[in-house]
Amino acid sequence: MDYLLLILGMVILIYGAHLMVQGASSFAKMLKIPNLIIGLTVVAFGTSFPELMINVFASYNGQSDLAVGNVVGSNIINVLLVIGLAAVVKPMQIQNFTVRYELPFSLLAMALLFVVANDGLINGTDFSVLHRSDGLIFLAFFIIFIYYTFVVTTSSHDEHEEGHDVKEMSKIKSALFMIAGMVGLYFGGEFIVNSATSLATDWGLSQVVIGILVVALGTSLPELATSIVASFKGNADMAIGNIVGSNIFNVFLVLGVSATISPIEFNPSINPDLLLAFVSTLLLFIFVFTGKGRRVDRVEGSIFLVLYFSYVAWLLI
């Protein structure tokens, strides 16, 4: 039953996020908000809705390892598995905005998470906690990132290039999509957290491992499918930017909201995973400046995949 609930929860959660984004985007379009701004706000938020809902439930229920493991695991999967597979399918060009702003912000997010979470390591305390003050710091950085992204993008790109294609619907249909999306996000998140916790006990695995291997993979499936399709069509340059942006959202928004709701106890055993998340982003940044042009080629994508599957084997062993 737990397996069925986990799969059902992921399907409901992902589809709920999709409906939520469609309804909210349509409402924004009715208000004459430009497609560019919709893409930077509503659609960008949509990629992190699944992680956010899972973490809200996990944080509220005191399941800290699942909350942190979900975010760290999702960031690892986004870079090593999603970008790795897409680059193997077809080399991926990286936009200047991603290189100059998103990648450095992503590295900052992982470094800041390491610093504020490791009270025991840095301050010599008996335990480590992401306090509400840490959550507020993350949210402050998130607002800065959104504002900076908006200012830089609107001043250097036209709307057609960066805009999100919005399907405008009636007010009633838009509202129904948003309501259905919120209901899906709620029940999907609840199903996943409850079933994942039960499975962790049955398998004899920690909530951290379940969060990284199962829950994070499930919430990253939309990005995986989208990036591979985009790679086939030769439109993968935007996909990398969205993936790196999602990683920033996961730390600053998802963990920021989670820690603000309820302090999150940090398990030091997650530090190797957190280090891998930082190193994988750093590798992506380095790969941009190797080879021909600013892109991730098939060899570099293969390196990402080898790292990911080696990491999975290490976790299980």
Q: How does residue 160 score in pLDDT terms, banded at 50, 70 and 90?
A: very low
Q: How does residue 158 score in pLDDT terms, banded at 50, 70 and 90?
A: very low
Q: Per-residue pLDDT for 164 more than 60?
A: no
Distance, CA of 180 to CA of 66 (rounded, Å): 26
Close Cβ partners of 5 (under 8 Å, ≥ 6 residues apart): 191, 192, 194, 195
Q: Per-residue pLDDT for 236 more than 70?
A: no
Q: Are 200 and 210 in contact (CB under 8 A)?
A: yes
| H/E element, 221 | helix 216-233
Average pLDDT over residues 255-273: 91
Which of 235, 48, 216 minimizes the C-alpha distance to 142?
Answer: 48
Q: How many residues does the chain have?
A: 317
For 30-39, 57-66, 202-211, 280-289, which range has the lowest pLDDT when averaged over its residues?
30-39
**pLDDT per position as a tens digit, 67-89:** 898 899 999 999 999 899 888 88
Q: Per-residue pLDDT for 291 more than 70?
A: no
**pLDDT per position as a tens digit, 78-131:** 999 989 988 888 888 787 777 888 899 999 999 999 999 998 888 777 788 999
pLDDT at 175: 87
User: Tokens at residue 10, please?
Assistant: 């992921």
- Average pLDDT over the chain reads 83
Indicate if the alpha-carbon torsion angle 18, 24, 26, 29 is positive or negative.
negative
- Architecture, CATH, for domain 2-316: Up-down Bundle (1.20)
Q: Per-residue pLDDT for 246 more than 90?
A: no
**pLDDT per position as a tens digit, 31-41:** 777 665 666 56
Share of the chain above pLDDT 90, in %: 28
Distance, CA of 139 to CA of 5 (rounded, Å): 32
Indicate if the alpha-carbon torsion angle 233, 290, 142, 209 is positive or negative.
positive
Q: Apex CA 184: angle with CA 47 and CA 102, to 5°?
A: 10
Residue position matching structure tokens 């007010």: 171
